Amino acid sequence: MNAPPPLDDDAARRAGLPPGSRLQEVQLPSGLWIAAAEVPNARLQRLVAAVGVGYLDEPDDCRGLAHLLEHALFLGSTRYPEAGELAHWVGERGGRYNARTDDTVTDVHLHLPPDETDDGLARLVDMLARPRLVPESIAREVEVLDAEFRARLADPDLHRLAALGRLCREGHPARLCHAGNRKSLGDDATHLVSRLSDFHARHYRSGRMALAMLGPLPLAAQLELLARHGAALPIGDPSPLPRTWRWGEPGGVAWHSPQATPGTSALELLWPLPDELDASHSDWLSGVAARLADGRLAATLQAAVELDSFDVTLTPQGTGAALALRLAPAPDEEAVQTLLAACRTALERALVSPLATRPPAAIELDAWPRRCACRLAGSGSSSDRGNDGQAAPPKALLPWLATEQCRLLWQSPHAPGSWKRLTETGTVWQPQSLSEAELPLPWRAAPALPARTLRPSADEPDPHLLNQGVGFQLWAGDPLQLPGAPPAWFCLGWSASLAHQTARLAQWRQNALPLRQAAAANGLQLRCDGDVRGDWLIATGPAERLDALVELAVACWPETVTRPRDEAPKGLLAQRMLARLETLPPPGTPGKPNQQPLAWVYGDTDTQAAETLLRRLAASRRNDDTAHEVTAETHWLSAQADDHAVMLEIAGPDDTPQSRWLLQLLAQCHDAAFHQEMRQQRGLGYVAAVRYREAAGYPRLGYVVQSPGTGVDALRQAIGEFLAHQGEALARLDETAMANRKRALLAAAGPPETHTEALSRLWQALRRQPQADAWQPLPWEAESQALTSLHAGEITAMASAIAEGRLAQRWWLHDPSAAHP
């Protein structure tokens, strides 16, 4: 293997990898691209395989074929023929797996303990190279896809893609829905197997594929594993796919989801780009995007519209290469035209003066190998090509970013009866004009973050309590001293009422939107959040501007909620139910007593200013009521989709590491068997899963089933019978199985992989010990000790407690026929 030298540390950081990482991409003689990233602090090895073919490459008469093949990969392969075998194998090792079919690329990814990498790659490659395509299994999978399609009719993302197709050329596959269902795929399983075999043989070849890996294994070892297993993929260099420009003439489309939350609205502005220009000028384009998101445009727009969110991206979903802006809300046509005019003007400014020093790329270890594999499989270009670093606007690119090249996609809050309706998805839509009239807004400056003169801190580096004044605590120091840590940070938390917390947090983030963007443009990061213990923020970056950022963030926090917020539902109904486990107090939790304001600082932070802020918060929050009403044991959701869905929420007995580990072990023991019984044996629905979640350290399990035809009573009964008949038996582990499960959990949830994760975990551990006068041991060390001390009998006992109803529980129910039965 003739490999180029690995990229240096600066290149790795630009790619979004932690300091000390090493990265290398190689194209093998077979045409297969392989990419490896050695990240010393990573706990898991992430493996991704990508194929440069997607739903836009399907035959017109068999829409959904690429998606069906993605599903079929998991139905068994030559070396591992049993359907569900991969799920069982990955689950035993505490790993995760998933797959995705996009417009021009399909990918499969596994997350595993590092010592399982060799076996994991063998399984990943075999499923891609030699899937077992059996008519009976394919027929069942078509039914699964059909159920998934019907479930996704309640997801605005599906209707967005359908509306996006109205902006594409007549006759182009991008105009059609490619989710796949019984009607588009047909019911002749034998014929489908033939179509799948042909599609697989034509596209799943080394010249159109990529393997990427990220983890702690040495770079040379990763490359050797990838090359050795990659040699088992079918060799071939398929001819280039006949892809044509998908876009019609510049214009706009307004759309409305038939089941959208009333009043939900958003605006997307798209400037599509040819792939080759996007790849060759990515650095300059990133500077343009950063200028658009420097806080000035957000501040200007927010003065005209109560802007909740504003995102700028070069990778919008389902569009191919494009510069995209997404703004919400966009409540009416006047607001749409105002936003459009302001964004056009801002883009003209950004093209002339891109942000010279761009914010550092976010470190996303889960996302990096997928992005890398999809890029290599889709474009066949290495990351070190095409970035010429020029400061002047590229002449070839400017015509594509002219204001008149904009495509507009408006999610309207309502749909008049005169609008058109797409037959297959029910999406309501109408052409939307793009006014050329200028609607000037008074331009506002981004929030100012004045720099103060730094006085080097004399504080000792180890964490220590600076001041425990009346009603507050101030900590300083860093227990880790990790390389690549931000120069300073300021974590701040205070008590806050749980009543209307979701609406309050949404308003806080709205108020702080321009501030967060201005902070990012200055190399700082701000996170505003809250949970059952109160509201909190984490700010990181250069110390000279950090205190100003925190002061302004606290000033943005709303004492009272001026308008209620209902988040627009997204994703499958089961996913929305599981999200409740991360945001709401667990069942049976009493109201929490007031918690004194708490801060943790590091770096050359002005500790006197921090103490003054804490005193002010302590005075203002002294009489705050943080108690909350305990949700009823049965909670009915308002009608959001056409499916029935049920989730049983089980709360851990407490928020100790022991309870958290036991529930995670139970989720591993139960998930595959629950999925098999609910989906395969009982045929109840498309989604059947057991998931572990936390909210502020409080552990809970969710047993969730989503079904198109089975009523909620039958679903409740099925979950109860599973727990009664199998819950305890599945949790009986022998010594070897218990040791393997522990090892897998430690790999998945051991020491932090990045400083961002470390800071978050340390901060939450500090908040769980509000009265401590000495820094607690590192939480992951305490968690590791708790896991080591567990024995198999404790898991069985916990399963028995669940089956017998001795743990607090809550049912979440959804019936499409009634909001509140």
The single-letter code of the amino acid at 582 is: E
* Same domain, yes or no: 49 and 179: yes
Tokens of 145: 């896809």
* Same domain, yes or no: 183 and 86: yes
Lowest mean pLDDT across 28-37, 64-73, 374-383, 751-760: 374-383
Q: What is the pLDDT of residue 312?
A: 96
Q: Which conformational region is residue 392 in: left (phi greater than 0), alpha (psi within -120 to 50 degrees), or beta?
A: beta
Structural domain ending residue among the three candidates 587, 620, 653: 620
For the segment 405-425, the average pLDDT, to the nearest whole number, is 93
User: Within 10 Å of residue 344's Cβ, how many Cβ atoms?
Assistant: 17
Q: 238 or 773: whose pLDDT is higher? A: 238
Structural domain ending residue among the three candidates 589, 620, 651: 620
| Eight-state DSSP code of residue 131 | B
* Same domain, yes or no: 268 and 302: yes
pLDDT over 60 at 386, yes or no: no
How many domains, in total, are found in the chain? Answer: 4
Q: Where are the beta strands (DSSP E) in 696-797?
A: 698-707
* Same domain, yes or no: 594 and 650: no
* Same domain, yes or no: 289 and 424: yes
Per-residue model confidence as pLDDT tens digits over 778-792: 889 888 999 999 999
Q: In the structure, what pLDDT confidence band is assigned to residue 385 with cuts at 50, 70 and 90?
A: very low
Tokens of 765: 């551990």
Q: In the structure, what pLDDT confidence band is assigned to residue 592 with cuts at 50, 70 and 90?
A: low
Q: What is the pLDDT of residue 773?
A: 78
Which structural domain range is residue 732 located in?
A: 634-761+771-814
SS (H, E, C) 602-641: ECCCCHHHHHHHHHHHHHHCCCCCCCCCCCCCEEECCCCC
Q: What is the pLDDT of residue 461?
A: 72
Q: In the structure, what pLDDT confidence band is assigned to residue 821 with cuts at 50, 70 and 90?
A: very low
pLDDT over 90 at 591, yes or no: no
Is there a domain that residue 504 lies in?
yes
pLDDT over 70 at 555, yes or no: yes
Q: Are strands 33-38 and 22-27 parallel, antiparallel or unpaired?
A: antiparallel
Q: Which residues contact 61 (CB under 8 A, 6 or more apart)?
A: none
The mean pLDDT value of the chain amounts to 89
Task: Indicate which CATH number applies to the domain containing 313.
Answer: 3.30.70
pLDDT over 90 at 255, yes or no: yes
Q: What is the pLDDT of residue 15?
A: 79
Q: In the structure, what pLDDT confidence band is assigned to residue 699 with cuts at 50, 70 and 90?
A: very high
* Same domain, yes or no: 420 and 485: no
For the segment 427-444, the average pLDDT, to the nearest whole number, is 86
200: helix, strand or coil:
helix
* Same domain, yes or no: 224 and 265: no
Which residues on adjacent β-strands are paired with residue 647? Answer: 704, 812
Is there a domain that residue 549 lies in?
yes
Is there a domain that residue 455 lies in?
no
Is there a domain that residue 383 lies in?
no
Distances (CA, A) of 709 to 486, 571, 636, 645: 52, 19, 18, 10
Percent of the chain with pLDDT over 90: 61
If you search the block for the tokens 């501007």, which residue do you land on?
545
Lowest mean pLDDT across 386-395, 778-787, 811-820: 386-395
SS (H, E, C) 123-155: HHHHHHHCECCCHHHHHHHHHHHHHHHHHHCCC
Q: What is the pLDDT of residue 704?
A: 97
* Same domain, yes or no: 223 and 330: no
Per-residue model confidence as pLDDT tens digits over 321-345: 999 999 999 999 999 999 999 999 9
Percent of the chain with pLDDT over 70: 92
Q: In the structure, what pLDDT confidence band is assigned to residue 174 with cuts at 50, 70 and 90?
A: very high
Decide: 75 and 131 in contact? Cβ < 8 Å.
yes
* Same domain, yes or no: 325 and 409: yes
* Same domain, yes or no: 212 and 261: no
Cα 545 to Cα 534: distance, rounded to the nearest angstrom: 25
For the chain, give the number of residues: 821
